[in-house]
């Protein structure tokens, strides 16, 4: 009995408190406490170790099947929310002894804790380690990177779960492209620490996006997102993931920097085909 108690105390997770999800400040405070507890238990993996693992190119996964019929936005949100994760990067500043956070988004791929976020989330400058939080308030460490593609900005990670934990995976859409231009889509994300925000729009374009060292495939959508949304799922009317939130790009008027005014912001996502490639042997 004593051995069982010690084992349970050592499990790499923090059980959820009863959270007031309407108070983002309360949720942030809880996530910081829970993440700090996991760090103190030495249950987390360092950012440096995770970045080295970004070299891994593929992993084999058994993915779940999607729904056969379209759903209303309320049902899409209700079904997707348990599979959407808040990703917290924890760090300490030089001014106090408290753990601070950056937050981003991600989602679950398998019941045993395989999940997705962006590579740039894991490479953020400040965090020293990462944990995730589910919609029920359970907090788990990011254990390792299973596969990644930095050009696509996609990282598949394994979470450290207790033996009894079962997560809710989101299905991936098939086809290339997975959804035609004009398809209605929804995004569930944590933009600037506002947790589980639902936005809607359409797929507006597929494009080749020029980066400093390469040209990558991107999907432009009109559903809104912002800082903190990185890694969030873009869902079709069946609740299937058709793309993954990556970045924004603002278009300005004029050429003189001190006179430029913003006109429009492109919402850029990685197509789900890139994620499927990472999960194939």
Output the domain CATH number for residue 247. 2.40.10.10
Query: Same domain, yes or no, for 140 and 19?
Result: yes
> Has residue 171 been placed in a domain?
no
Report the distance separating Cα 136 and Cα 261, nearest Å. Answer: 41
Asked whether residue 61 is domain-assigned, the answer is: yes
pLDDT single digits (tens) 11-36: 456 655 678 999 999 999 999 999 99
Q: Is residue 177 part of a domain?
A: no
- Could you list the residue range(s) of the whole structural domain that residue 16 is in? 2-159
Instruction: Give 185: exposed, middle or buried? Use CB within 10 Å, 0-12, 13-18, 19+.
Output: buried
Do 151 and 219 belong together in one domain? Answer: no
Q: Distance from CA of residue 74 to its chain's centroid? A: 21
Question: pLDDT, tens digit, for every residue of 58-75?
Answer: 999 989 988 778 999 999
Examine the domain organization and report whether 54 and 119 are in the same domain: yes
Q: Total structural domains in the chain?
A: 2
Kindly state whether residues 76 and 204 are assigned to the same domain.
Answer: no
Does 168 fall in a domain?
Answer: no
The verdict on 36 and 88 lying in the same domain is yes
- Last-in-domain residue among 103, 126, 159: 159
- pLDDT band (50, 70, 90) for residue 174: very high
Mark whether 24 and 79 lie in a shared domain: yes
Pair (88, 192) in one structural domain? no
Handedness of CA 66, 115, 119, 184 (dihedral sign): positive
pLDDT digits (tens, 9 = 90+) for 215-231: 999 999 999 999 999 99
Pairing of strands 99-108, 114-117: antiparallel
In a domain, 14, yes or no: yes
* 170 within a domain of the structure (yes/no): no
C-alpha distances in Å from residue 152, one per residue of 61, 140, 160, 218: 19, 25, 25, 8
- Would you state the pLDDT for residue 68? 79
């Amino acid at each position: 009995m004593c051995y069982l108690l010690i084992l349970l105390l050592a499990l790499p997770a923090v059980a959820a408190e009863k959270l007031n999800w309407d108070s983002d400040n309360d949720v942030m405070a809880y996530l910081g406490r829970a993440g700090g507890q996991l760090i103190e238990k030495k249950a987390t993996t360092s950012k440096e170790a995770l970045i080295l693992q970004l070299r891994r190119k593929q992993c084999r996964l058994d993915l779940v099947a999607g729904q056969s019929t379209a759903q209303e936005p309320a049902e899409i949100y209700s079904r997707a929310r348990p599979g959407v994760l808040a990703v917290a990067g924890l760090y300490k500043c030089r001014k106090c002894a408290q753990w601070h956070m950056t937050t981003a988004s991600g989602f679950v791929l398998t019941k045993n804790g395989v999940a997705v976020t962006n590579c740039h989330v894991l490479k953020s400058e400040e965090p020293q380690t990462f944990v995730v939080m589910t919609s029920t308030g359970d907090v788990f460490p990011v254990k390792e990177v299973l596969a990644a593609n930095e050009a696509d900005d996609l990282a598949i990670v394994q979470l450290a779960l207790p033996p009894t934990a079962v997560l809710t995976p989101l299905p991936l859409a098939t086809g290339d492209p997975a959804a035609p231009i004009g398809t209605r889509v929804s995004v569930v994300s944590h933009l600037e620490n506002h947790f589980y925000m639902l936005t809607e729009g359409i797929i507006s374009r597929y494009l080749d996006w020029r980066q400093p060292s390469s040209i990558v495939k991107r999907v432009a959508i009109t559903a809104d997102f912002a800082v903190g949304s990185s890694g969030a799922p873009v869902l079709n009317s069946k609740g299937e993931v058709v793309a993954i939130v990556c970045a924004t790009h603002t278009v300005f008027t004029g050429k003189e920097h001190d006179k430029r005014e913003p006109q429009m912001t492109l919402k850029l996502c990685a197509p789900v085909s890139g994620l499927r490639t990472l999960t194939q042997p």
